[in-house]
Structure 1
Amino acid sequence: MWDLRRDAERGRAAVAILLRRDPDVAVRMLFRSGPEAWTAFDKDVRRDRSRLGGALPSNRIEARLCDPDGRIRESALSAWRRPPAHLVVIRCADWVPAVRNRARRVLGRIVARDPVSTLVTLAPLILRLGRREHGAWAVEQLEAAVSGRYSLLAAWWRPGRASTTWSLNSLTSEQRDSILNLLCLRADLPARRFAARLTSEAGRTGVRELAARARDERDPVTSRIWVDAALAAMAADGPDGAAIDDLLAGHFPLVRAGGVTALRRAGRAAEAVDHLADRSGTVRACARWLVRQGGDDPYAVTRALLEDPARVTPNAVTGFAECAGPADAPLLRALLEHPAGAVRAAAVGGLRLMDATDHELLRPLLDDPSPAVAREVSLSLRSEAGRLPADWLLARTAPEQPLHTRRAAYRLLYAQGGVAWLRAAVELQAVTDPGLRHLAAQHIQGLWPTYGPMRLSAGDPEVGALLDRCTGLASGYAIRWMRSQLAIPRAECGMSGY
Structure 2
Amino acid sequence: MPEDVGDGDGAAAAAAVRLSHGVPLGDALAVADPGAWLTLDAGVRSVPHWRLQHLSWWNSAAQFSGLTGPDESRLALALCHGDGRVRQEAVHQAAGYPGLLPLVMIRCADWAAPVREAARRLLREALDLDAALALAPLVLRVGRRDRGAFGVDALGEVLRRAPLESLEPLFAHRDRAVRRFAYRTAVEGRLIGPAELARVAAEDEDTVVQDLCASAALTAVGDEDVYEEVLLPLLSARNPRTRSAGVTALRRAGRPAEAEAFLADRSALVRACARYVVRQHGGDPAAWYRKRCAAPEGLGPPPGAVSGLAECGESADAGLLWPLLAHPADGVRARAVAGLRALDRVDTHRLRPLLDDPAPGVVRETAVALLPYVAELPADLLLERTGPSRPRHVRIGALRLLDALGGLVALRAAVGLLEDPDETVRTRAGRSVQGWRPSAHVRLRDPEVGELLERSCHLMSEAALRRRKWEAGVGS
TM normalised by structure 1 equals 0.76
Contact 1:56 1:63 in 2 (8 A): no
Match of 1:82 among 82, 94, 98: 98
Equivalent residue, structure 2, for 1:167 = none
Query: Are 1:325 and 2:325 counterparts?
Result: no
What does 1:341-380 align with in structure 2 at a 5 Å threshold?
A: 341-380=330-369
2:51 alignment counterpart: 53
| Runs (5+) with no aligned partner, structure 1 | 148-172, 491-498
Partner of 1:118: 131
Cα distance in 1 for partners of 2:179, 2:54 equals 36
One-letter code aligned to 1:89: M
CA distance in 2 between partners of 1:24 and 1:399 (Å): 64
Equivalent pair of 1:11/1:36 in contact (CA under 8 Å): no
| Aligned position for 2:325 | 336
Maintained 8 Å contact 1:302/1:319? yes
Report if the CA contact (8 A) 1:314-1:343 is conserved. yes
Matched, 1:213 2:200: yes
How far apart, in 2, do the equivalents of 1:86 and 1:436 lie? 52
- 1:386, distance to aligned residue in structure 2 (A): 1.7
1:250 maps onto 2:222 in alignment? no
In 2: Cα distance, 1:264 partner to 1:252 partner:
20
Change (3 A) 1:19 1:271: same
Aligned-partner SS, 1:187: coil
- Residue of structure 2 aligned with 1:264, choices 237, 251, 265: 251
Q: CA deviation at 1:266?
A: 2.9
- Compared CA separation, residues 319 and 429, structure 1 to 2 (3 A): same
Q: Which amino acid aligns with 2:174?
A: A
Matches within 5 A, 1:471-486: 471-486=457-472
Contact 2:124 2:154 in 1 (8 A): no
Partner residue in 2 for 1:64: 77
1:223 aligns to 2:222 (yes or no): no
Counterparts in 2 of 1:26 and 1:429: CA distance versus 1, 3 Å: farther
The answer to whether the 8 A contact 1:43-1:66 is kept is no
What fraction of aligned residue pairs are identical, expressed as a percent? 41
Distance in 2 between residues matched to 1:402 and 1:56, nearest whole Å: 73
2:386 is the counterpart of 1:397: yes
**Which stretch of structure 1 is more off in the superposition, 477-486 or 265-274?**
477-486
2 CA distance for matches of 1:25 and 1:144?
29
Q: Is the CA contact (8 Å cut-off) linking 1:70 and 1:99 kept in structure 2? A: no
User: Residue 452 of structure 2 corresponds to which residue in structure 1?
Assistant: 466
TM superposition shift of 1:222: 1.8
Distance 2:423 2:50 in 1: 43
Provide the rounded CA distance (Å) in 1 between the counterparts of 2:54 and 2:471. Answer: 59
Q: Which amino acid is the alignment partner of residue 227 of structure 2?
A: G
Range with bigger deviation, 210-219 or 478-487: 478-487
Q: Root-mean-square deviation (CA), in Å?
A: 3.8
Cα distance between partner residues in 1 of 2:79 and 2:37: 10
Q: Which residue of 1 aligns with 2:66?
A: none
Distance 1:386 1:16, change over 3 A: farther
Letter in 2 for 1:141: A
Measured after TM superposition, the shift of residue 241 of structure 1 is 1.3
Counting matched residue pairs gives: 449
1:205 Cα offset (Å): 3.7
Distance 1:197 1:280 in 2: 27
User: What SS does the corresponding residue of 2:251 show, helix, strand or coil?
Assistant: coil
Write the distance in 2 (CA, Å) between the matches of 1:99 and 1:10. Answer: 25
After superposition, the Cα gap between the structure-2 partners of 1:55 and 1:423, relative to the gap in structure 1 and judged at 3 Å, is farther
Is the partner of 2:221 in helix, strand or coil? Answer: helix
Give the CA deviation at 1:318. 1.6
User: Would the aligned equivalents of 1:11 and 1:38 in 2 still touch at CA under 8 Å?
Assistant: no
Tell me how far apart the structure 2 counterparts of residues 68 and 330 of structure 1 sit (CA, whole Å): 77
The answer to whether the Cα contact below 8 Å between 2:42 and 2:80 also exists between their aligned partners in 1 is no
Q: Is this contact kept in 1: 2:337–2:366, CA < 8 A?
A: yes
What are the within-5 Å matches in structure 2 for residues 137-286 of structure 1? 137-147=150-160, 173=161, 175=162, 177-178=164-165, 182-234=169-221, 240-242=226-228, 243-286=230-273
Q: Aligned-pair distance for 1:338?
A: 2.5
Give a deviation string over 1:100-130, Cα, whole Å, max 9, x none: 455444534542xxx2222122222211222
Residues 6-45 of structure 1 mapped to structure 2, 5 A cutoff: 29=30, 31=32, 33=33, 35-36=34-35, 38-40=37-39, 42-43=41-42
The 3-state SS of whatever aligns with 1:131 is coil
> Which deviates more, 185-194 or 436-445?
436-445
TM superposition score normalised by structure 2 = 0.79
Task: Identify the residue that residue 152 of structure 1 maps to in structure 2.
Answer: none
Match of 1:153 in 2: none
**CA deviation after TM superposition for structure 1 residue 210, in Å:** 2.6
Q: 2:336 is paired with a residue of what secondary structure?
A: helix
Structure 1 residue 247 displacement after superposition: 1.9
